[in-house]
């Protein structure tokens, strides 16, 4: 698996080469900032599980999935006005929001080149619809920003689109390229979705419980931004009237500051 992930890294680097110096600098900064490559590993692992042996589609599509994720991170950092990710300054902090948005778009354009070259309608449909779903999840979260009384159902819908959708696509890709049955494809897709949901819930909890050195980004940033996640939803649901009113007032003040 180590050899395969190294090949994925090589594909990503070769795909992101550019004669534009700013793109070159920003891409290198982003890729060198680390990352566990979980989504790429899921594609490789599920391809291996499904006995895909011949060719390099698993490597190319693992790179594609990882590039979609990287593009969303660049966009997320602009939306969230983040300055630290994985313990280093974010691209938007160094080069500004405009450059980060455009380079994120550049990454997405490279993803679609890989999808088209793969020449599988099912893969193209899956990854393009997943990209759309991620964007919709981001907009839905923005729509409900500052709602301390947000329903748990809305929160789950947001993280299903923002995070779990790409996990589900990453696992399903392995079954598709190995020509598995619909039942097997659906099973791996369900596994990826549930893993992604658990991953995001844990990440949201760490925003309250971890430390900056371990978490790699600012602690408590979700709360300070007025972003409602599961820990806050549970606190609000279990709080008494006084405690709920206190939280509502805090979020009202945050809303005024944002305006």
**Structure confidence by residue, pLDDT tens digits, 126-144:** 999 999 999 999 999 999 9
Report the share of the chain in percent with pLDDT over 90.
72
pLDDT band at 88 (very low <50, low <70, confident <90, very high): confident
Q: In the prediction, which pLDDT does 220 show? A: 77
User: In which band, very low, low, confident or very high, does the pLDDT at 256 lie, cut at 50, 70 and 90?
Assistant: very low
- Specify whether the CB–CB gap between 136 and 108 falls below 8 A: no
Q: Distance between CA atoms of 112 and 259, rounded to whole angstroms?
A: 36
Are 166 and 186 within 8 A, CB to CB? no
Burial class (CB in 10 A: 0-12, 13-18, 19+), 32: exposed
The pLDDT assigned to 225 comes to 76
Mean pLDDT of 66-77: 93
Banded model confidence at residue 84, pLDDT cuts 50, 70, 90: confident
CA dihedral 181, 187, 189, 190 (to 10 degrees): 160
Confidence category of residue 189, pLDDT binned at 50, 70, 90:
very high
Tell me the average pLDDT of the chain: 90
The 10s digit of each residue's pLDDT in 221-244 is: 788 777 899 999 999 999 999 999
What is the chain's alpha carbon radius of gyration, rounded to the nearest angstrom?
19
C-beta of residue 230 within 8 angstroms of C-beta of residue 201: yes
pLDDT of 93 > 70? The answer is yes
* Banded pLDDT at 219 (limits 50, 70, 90): confident
| Predicted pLDDT of residue 212 | 58
Query: 40 Cβ partners below 8 Å, 6+ apart?
Result: 5, 8, 62, 63, 65, 66, 170
Strand stretches in the chain, DSSP E: 84-85, 88-89
> Quick one: pLDDT at residue 211?
64
Q: Specify the pTM.
A: 0.90
Class of domain 2-136+145-258: mainly alpha
**Which pLDDT band holds residue 21 (cuts at 50, 70, 90)?**
very high
pLDDT winner (highest mean) among 33-47, 96-110, 138-152? 96-110
């Amino acid at each position: 698996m180590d050899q395969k992930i190294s090949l994925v890294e090589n594909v990503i680097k070769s795909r992101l080469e550019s004669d534009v110096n700013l793109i070159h600098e920003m891409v290198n900064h982003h890729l060198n900032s680390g990352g566990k490559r979980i989504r790429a590993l899921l594609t490789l692992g599920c391809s291996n599980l499904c006995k895909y042996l011949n060719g390099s589609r698993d490597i190319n599509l693992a790179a594609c999935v990882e590039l979609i994720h990287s593009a969303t991170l660049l966009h997320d950092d602009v939306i969230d006005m983040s300055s630290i990710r994985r313990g280093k300054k974010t691209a938007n902090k160094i080069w500004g929001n405009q450059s980060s948005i455009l380079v994120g778009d550049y990454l997405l354009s490279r993803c679609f080149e890989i999808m088209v070259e793969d020449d599988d309608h099912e893969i193209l449909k899956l990854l393009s619809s997943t990209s759309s779903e991620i964007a919709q999840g981001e907009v839905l979260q923005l729509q409900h920003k500052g709602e301390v009384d947000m329903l748990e159902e809305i929160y789950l819908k947001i993280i299903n689109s923002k995070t779990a959708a790409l996990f589900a696509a990453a696992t399903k890709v392995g079954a598709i390229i190995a020509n598995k049955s619909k039942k097997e494809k659906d099973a791996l897709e369900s596994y990826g979705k549930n893993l992604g949901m658990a991953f995001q819930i844990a990440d949201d909890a760490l925003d309250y419980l971890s430390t900056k050195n371990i978490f790699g980004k600012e602690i408590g940033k979700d709360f300070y931004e007025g972003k409602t996640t599961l820990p806050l939803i549970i606190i609000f649901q279990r709080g008494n009237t006084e405690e709920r009113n206190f939280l509502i007032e805090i979020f009202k003040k945050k809303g005024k500051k944002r305006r």
